[in-house]
Amino acid sequence: METCWWVLWWRLLVVLAVADVGLAIDEYSRADFPDGFIFGAGTSAYQVEGAANQDGRSPSVWDTFAHGGYAGGPTGDIAVDQYHKYKEDVQLMAEMGLDAYRFSISWSRLIPDGRGNVNPKGLEYYNNLINELISHGIKPLVSLYNFDHPQVLEDEYGGWVSRKMVEDFKAYAEVCFKVFGDRVSHWTTVNEPNILAHGSYDQGISPPGHCSPPFGAATCVHGNSTTEPYLVLHNILLAHASTVKLYRRNYQGKQHGLIGITLYAFGFVPDTNLTADVEAVQRAKAFYLGWAADPLVLGDYPEIMKRNVGSRLPRFTTEESELVKGAFDFLGLIHYMQVSVKDNLSSLSLELRDFNADMGAQIMMDHDSYFTGFPVRPRALQEILEDFKQLYGNPPIYVLENGQVNVRNTSLIDVARVEYLQAYIGAVLTAIRNGCNVKGFSVWSLLDVFELLGGFQTGFGLYYVDLDDPDLPRYPKLSAHWYSHFLKGGIIDSSANVELASNLSSVTDLRSQRSSY
């Protein structure tokens, strides 16, 4: 068969791109990874399920936030309708060759009032999804929380700003352990609590959208940016640790699962070679990652945070420190991009300070990259994994989100995503060979979903979802074929090529084909 022009074009671009990013490993296959290493892909409940008003589900803070005008009008009411299309999606996973599917449970769907009675329809849906995955040999990697507690708890006592959330979260988690735990091998409690606390309670850019002037989004009507981020992260750590204690005491021995929490990590580099910027990188690491990782591993917040934040940073009692320290069997890691850091110690002289001012550093970020694509800097991920090895005792790490964004369009030839994944999976292998204790890797995301930043304007998916078709059909992108090629044992190198059907170039062509079936 004659090679299509775009296959040659893609091959050339991959060769040039890999040469440009300077991969530590320029050829590898799945066989190079340790036995038992898990490869998967992920989504989360509000972003993928839809059926927001069906079968007894109550509104979550995500619903309220989205309906408040976030992302220019679109919401997750329908999302990409995995609630009704889960069997089709699991079939796609099986055909791709995934070991695991990472998804979250909607607290509002399972326990609509936040506490008390379990919704039978919610229970049925998650049982069906888990059973469908297992019947296809796919492990469920389950997150209990992804920015989406029931709105009723937000209305009652403010959600995570209240210590009451600790007990309600633990009770919700116990229901999940009881009804699903016999089939779930990996649990994570809260997704990226460090980003949740900062983004949702200081900047106001994610649900429930808290902030206060002069900080954060102009649309915030609730919150206190100077105190709430620290209070929220503290309460999340206590809820997480209490849940881990419960799981270990009552369920782990008979269910044999593992439990952890998922943290977000930027890659940081100094904006210049000046000593001040180099030192600012260390503060940024302490504030963004150490804020959660230090208590979990060492039992307390970083010293620089205690000094800079002062009395606004909650303190752990001796008992709480002992509870939080070591409260994980593994740590989940989310990483997408490297940013530069510039010294800003002058912010510490401000009378009114938020998280960014307390850090005394300025994150130099190209916000357009959240739409146009992240720069490919795989060494940033290697360095983060090396930090976990050197600073935190080399705990088991699962990279649970990593992937490339692009403006949502009709192109299925996502060369940039292939380039990105090839580089970052190679970086994970390099880290493993350097002694880092990495156990798994999950691509974000399986499908183009309703994104936290950008709604439906952007996409991370291995599969394109045609939102203009009421059936919401899924179409594999080049990256889906590439990932499947890798998962099924194919060699990945600078000239790797997956032979694709010639109709992959546009969704328009695919629509025409569907109409002729």
352-404 tens-digit pLDDT: 999 999 999 999 988 778 788 999 999 999 999 999 999 999 999 999 999 99
Q: Which helix (H) or strand (E) holds 340?
A: strand 338-343
Residue 214's Cβ-count burial label (10 Å; 0-12, 13-18, 19+) is: exposed
Give the per-residue pLDDT at 510: 54
Per DSSP, the residues of 22-45 read T-S-SEE-GGGSPTT-EEEEE--H
Please count the other Cβ atoms lying within 10 Å of the Cβ belonging to residue 488: 11
> Counting every residue, how long is the chain?
517
Give the per-residue pLDDT at 5: 31
Q: d(Cα 379, Cα 386) in Å, to the nearest integer?
A: 10
Query: Among 47, 58, 138, which Cα is nearest to 91's?
Result: 138
Local confidence band at 221 (pLDDT 50, 70, 90 cut-offs): confident
Specify whether the backbone of 407 is left (phi greater than 0), alpha (psi in -120 to 50) or beta: beta
pLDDT exceeds 60 at position 347: yes
Give the per-residue pLDDT at 516: 33
**Sign (positive/negative) of CA torsion 281, 284, 288, 291?**
positive
Q: Are strands 492-493 and 27-28 parallel, antiparallel or unpaired?
A: antiparallel
Local confidence band at 220 (pLDDT 50, 70, 90 cut-offs): confident
Q: Which residue's entry shows tokens 């009723």?
A: 152
pLDDT exceeds 90 at position 297: yes
pLDDT exceeds 80 at position 118: yes
**Cβ–Cβ under 8 Å, residues 106 and 45:** yes
List the beta bridge partners of residue 139: 100
Query: Among 369, 187, 180, 173, which Cα is nearest to 260's?
Result: 187
Give the per-residue pLDDT at 219: 80
pLDDT exceeds 50 at position 2: no
3.40.50.880, 3.10.310.50, 3.30.559.10, 3.20.20.80: CATH of 5-515: 3.20.20.80
- In this prediction, residues 84-113 reach a mean pLDDT of 99
With a CB cutoff of 8 Å and minimum separation 6, the contacts of 349 are none
Tell me the whole-structure pTM to 2 decimals: 0.93
Residue 401 tokens, joined: 């989100």
List the beta bridge partners of residue 100: 40, 139
Q: d(Cα 295, Cα 187) in Å, to the nearest integer?
A: 20
The active-site residue out of 49, 228, 401, 419 is 401
Q: What is the residue-averaged pLDDT of the chain?
A: 92
Give the per-residue pLDDT at 17: 43
**Active-site residue flag, 351:** no
Please count the other Cβ atoms lying within 10 Å of the Cβ belonging to residue 174: 16
pLDDT tens sequence across 167-215: 999 999 999 999 999 999 999 999 999 999 999 999 999 999 999 999 9
- In this prediction, residues 461-481 reach a mean pLDDT of 97
The active-site residue out of 192, 228, 320, 419 is 192
**Cβ–Cβ under 8 Å, residues 38 and 439:** yes
Give the per-residue pLDDT at 494: 67
**Cβ–Cβ under 8 Å, residues 63 and 46:** yes
Helix (H, G, I), strand (E, B) or coil at 445: coil
Nearest-Å Rg of the Cα atoms of the chain is 22
Percent of the chain past pLDDT 90, that is, above it, reads 84
Is the pLDDT higher at 266 or at 370? 266
Local confidence band at 258 (pLDDT 50, 70, 90 cut-offs): very high
pLDDT tens sequence across 304-319: 999 999 999 999 999 9
pLDDT exceeds 50 at position 410: yes
pLDDT exceeds 50 at position 159: yes
**Active-site residue flag, 320:** no
Give the per-residue pLDDT at 408: 85
